[in-house]
Chains A and B, each alone.
Chain A
Amino acid sequence: MRAVLSAMPAFLRESMATMFQYRGEILLWAIWGVVYPAVAMAMWSAAVAGAPGGHEIGGYAPRDFAAYFWLTMVIGHICTAWDVYELGYLVQSGKLSPKLLRPVLPVWQSLADNIAYKVVSLGVLVPIWVLIVLLTRPQFGIDRHAATFAVPAILMAAMINYLWCYNLAMVAFWVTRMEAIGQGWFGAGLFFGGRLAPLSIMPEPLQKIASALPFKWVVYFPCEMLMGRLSDRAIWTGLGNQLAWVAFGLVVFCVMWRMGVKRYSAVGA
């Protein structure tokens, strides 16, 4: 652990320096993260206007949709992870080998890249987020409980997404190409995470499926909590679910990493 503590600040500095080197690309990725929540926000606001009565859909008025999708935008950014592609590339190209020779697991460097991207892109995103708030006047319902648990809920959401994305990425030790698997993961995240529509307005069977998957606890749960739509009991249940997904993710990580590296070193590192 001392090696990790010594390495992480250096990894973060290196990652940030790399991001500054490719600031144009970082800018485009960050903006892309804003586009689809903004599109969903516009579509649902238009849908409310066209709905019978023209006031709301499933308990969401236009300003509720604005708040909901604004939150998916922000939390989606905080929780984003792309290791399905990154680790797949490292395994396929053999570039993982020099990283395996270090006395620190490669996942730490990957985590530093992840954090560095989120921090560096804030410079672009914060003004955009403020502008969207000014334009759409979202209606948040943050109460005392939501404020208390917002930070742990969002931190655990980021951990769940990072861990499970990395766990899925480790399939690359057995499968050569990961692009389709990655796309499937991101598609499922959009749908079952409530990033295309709030889960509460989806059919009951889909809501049940979503509850059994990690995505709901990454975006939908913190969003609903910060909108003040969850009871105390629902908040505690949600936090418990998040904790369980983090713990389960860590166990799967340990098992898959051990097996994956053995596999990698069996077929030719």
Chain B
Amino acid sequence: MLRMAQIQVDQLSKTFKVPEREGGFAAAMKSLILRKYRQVQAVDRVSFQIDDGEIVGFLGPNGAGKTTTLKMLSGLLHPTSGQATVLGHVPWRREAAYLRRISMVMGQRSQLNWDLPAMDSFLVHMAVYRVDREEGRRTLDEMIELLDIGHVLGKQVRTLSLGERMKCEICVSLLHRPSVLFLDEPTLGLDLTMQDRIRGFIREYNRRYGATIILTSHYMADVTALCKRIVVIDHGHILFDGPLTSLSARLAPFKVISIDLQQDVNGYPFERMGEVLAREGRKIKLRVNKEDAAAVTSRLLADLAVLDLTIEDPPIEDVIRQVFAGGNTP
């Protein structure tokens, strides 16, 4: 099946001008006259393309530029330079025809009226997006069923639990059936069961309506469960853009060597070869630098009676964790 590019980003950059001063009263007085600013490069010449119906995960540590990129693509931020089109529109022109076809869920920013039951916000949303009454009713019934929120619709939003509120946020964002969906930390703060339910819903929405979805999350399970393709951003640069399965091979600077020995070995200097991840009887798991892997393997085979030896990339969770910790270099 031929897929069309729904999102095209070319050399997109965003620089913020941030006022700064040292702490203390004297610095506060000084800043009255002499104000200092610092340029923060949030996104630096990123380029990528996302096809119709893809779910793409944006990964990176705090301050990497993920949310800034999402905000530029949704039209909330003007870029400093570069080009982007989403569904054939330039997002930051914020044309009504464009805004009617997208949606953005921000874990920290609510689209619901907290003073009223969620159902009231749903009805307003359908009117604002001119959703056909019959179609809107059908979509709403589907969402209510998929998200299991029928019992909370009559409750004032401010009295809902975080999970209930997030499900209502997602529901209201999708009532107009957007073709492109930007999800910024949609499972933030939710318990495991609720995270799982939200993931299932996102997957089902993508399957049912063929929507293109960009997702940022700090939860690895979100990414591994939903995204075949991921984009890793750090310090505003794209470090990796490709299938999730090849992330480890590209980004992990180490390999994991597992050995099964014929007999017990005491005093052998495994620690000098790498980090011992596990040792259970004659089974040992070592983490070694990628470039040392071949030499370490040769030495192990030469020195020891080895029954079995495997060399693997580290688990995807470890790689992502390292990316989040900012410990990765391209």
Contacts and interface: CB of A to CB of B under 8 A. Distances in A.
Contacts of A267: 16-17
23 contacts: A6-B127, A7-B124, A10-B123, A10-B124, A10-B128, A11-B124, A13-B120, A21-B115, A21-B116, A22-B115, A94-B109, A97-B106, A98-B104, A98-B106, A98-B110, A101-B99, A101-B102, A101-B103, A103-B96, A103-B129, A265-B71, A265-B77, A265-B92
B74 interface: yes
Interface residues of A, number: 29
Interface in A93-117: 94-95, 97-98, 100-104
B124 A98 contact: no
B111 interface: yes
Closest 10 CB pairs of A and B: A10-B127, A103-B96, A269-B76, A103-B99, A7-B128, A98-B111, A10-B124, A265-B78, A265-B77, A103-B100
A137 interface: no
B116 A102 contact: no
Interface in A1-55: 2-3, 6-7, 9-11, 13-14, 17-18, 21-22
Interface string A233-269: 0000000000000000000000000000110011111
Interface of A: 2-3, 6-7, 9-11, 13-14, 17-18, 21-22, 94-95, 97-98, 100-104, 261-262, 265-269
Contact of A102 (B16, B99, B110): B99
Interface of B: 16-17, 71, 74-78, 92, 94, 96-97, 99-100, 102-104, 106, 109-111, 113, 115-116, 120-121, 123-124, 126-130, 156
A14 B119 CA distance: 11
A101 B75 contact: yes
Contacts of A100: 75-76, 94
A11 B103 CA distance: 20
Consensus secondary structure, chain A interface: helix
A9 B127 contact: yes
A101 B76 contact: yes
A11 B124 CA distance: 7
A173 to B, nearest CB: 13
Nearest to B95: A103
Nearest to A102: B128
B128 A18 contact: no
Contacts of A268: 16, 77
B76 A2 contact: no
Contact of B130 (A3, A9, A14): A3
Given A9-B127, A10-B127, A101-B104, A269 B116 contact: no
A262 B76 CA distance: 9
B130 A18 contact: no
B72 to A, nearest CB: 9
A103 B111 contact: no
Contacts of A2: 130
